[in-house]
């Protein structure tokens, strides 16, 4: 009897080894060519507990990044090289934002400690700070949020049997 297979996407949970440092973003006024290719890596070694969910509108419910189940003081590392655009407090919480050479901006939220300062060039895998009571990372290009699943590769594909979709022997299907 044939059993149809369900496609399952599984993302690796660990942090990949840092790649060679990405160049810092170009200064204003420099000639701009095609955006360089930047390799992104997960910023923490922890299980993913809440994935990106597109909000219905600019103030709608959703998740504009990935949230991880971290313990307090987990080291947070730069997902790729770039320049620290913000490092400070927003609404009583600590955040770090890094502008990358391809124009994306990564933001590391709910930190307990910050280890970098605005204007500092950071390399992929460099420590940015440490987590507090929770941790989230998000990415934006301009005002548009980007699903981290599109940046953190590779995506592993595995086929598994799923009895819910079983077809009886001799049935068309």
Domain containing residue 134: CATH number: 2.70.70.10
Residue 87 has pLDDT above 90, yes or no: yes
How many folded domains does the chain comprise? Answer: 1
pLDDT band at 156 (very low <50, low <70, confident <90, very high): low
pLDDT band at 169 (very low <50, low <70, confident <90, very high): low
127 assigned to some structural domain: yes
101 assigned to some structural domain: yes
Q: Which is it for strands 127-141 and 144-146: parallel, antiparallel or unpaired? A: antiparallel
Contact assessment for residue 15 and residue 45, using Cβ atoms and an 8 Å cutoff:
yes
168 assigned to some structural domain: no
Measured in whole angstroms, the distance separating CA 25 from the mean position of its chain's CA atoms is 19
97 assigned to some structural domain: yes
Instruction: Quote the CA–CA distance of 80 and 107 in Å, as a whole number.
Output: 12
Residues 22-34: pLDDT tens digits? 344 444 444 566 7
Helices (H) and strands (E) in the chain, counts: 0, 11
73 assigned to some structural domain: yes
Nearest to 101 by CA among 145, 18, 39: 39
DSSP state of 35: P
Residue 162 has pLDDT above 70, yes or no: yes
Residues 109-150: pLDDT tens digits? 999 999 999 999 999 999 999 999 999 999 999 989 999 999
User: What percentage of the chain reaches a pLDDT higher than 70?
Assistant: 73
Structural domain boundaries, residue 80? 1-13+39-54+62-149
């Amino acid at each position: 009897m044939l059993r149809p297979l369900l496609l399952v996407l599984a993302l690796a949970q660990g942090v990949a080894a840092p790649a060679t440092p990405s160049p810092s973003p170009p200064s204003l006024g420099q000639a701009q060519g095609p955006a360089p290719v930047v390799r992104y890596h997960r910023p923490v070694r922890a299980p993913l507990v809440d994935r990106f969910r597109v909000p219905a509108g600019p103030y709608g419910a959703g998740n504009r990044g990935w949230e991880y189940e971290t313990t307090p003081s987990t080291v947070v590392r730069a997902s790729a090289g770039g320049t620290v655009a913000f490092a400070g407090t927003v609404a009583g919480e600590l955040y770090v934002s890094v502008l990358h050479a391809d124009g994306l901006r990564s933001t590391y939220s709910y930190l307990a400690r910050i280890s970098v300062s605005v204007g500092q060039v950071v390399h992929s895998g460099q420590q940015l700070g440490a987590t507090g009571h929770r941790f989230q990372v998000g990415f934006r290009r301009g005002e548009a949020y980007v699903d981290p699943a599109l940046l953190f590769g590779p995506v592993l594909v595995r086929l598994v049997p799923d009895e819910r979709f079983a077809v009886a022997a001799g049935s068309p299907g």
